[in-house]
Amino acid sequence: MGSQEVMIKALKILERELSREEFLVYLQTITEKAGDSVKELREKADNLSLEDVLKIVKEKA
Q: Let me know: does 57 contact 7? Beta carbons within 8 Å.
A: yes
> DSSP readout, 5-44?
HHHHHHHHHHHHHS-HHHHHHHHHHHS---SSHHHHHHHH
pLDDT digits (tens, 9 = 90+) for 17-54: 988 888 888 887 877 666 676 777 777 777 888 788 78
The torsion defined by the Cα of 33, 29, 54 and 48, in degrees rounded to 10, comes to -70
* Coil/strand/helix, residue 41: helix
Q: Let me know: does 25 contact 38? Beta carbons within 8 Å.
A: yes
What is the model's pLDDT at position 61?
64
Between residues 15 and 61, the one the model is more confident about: 15
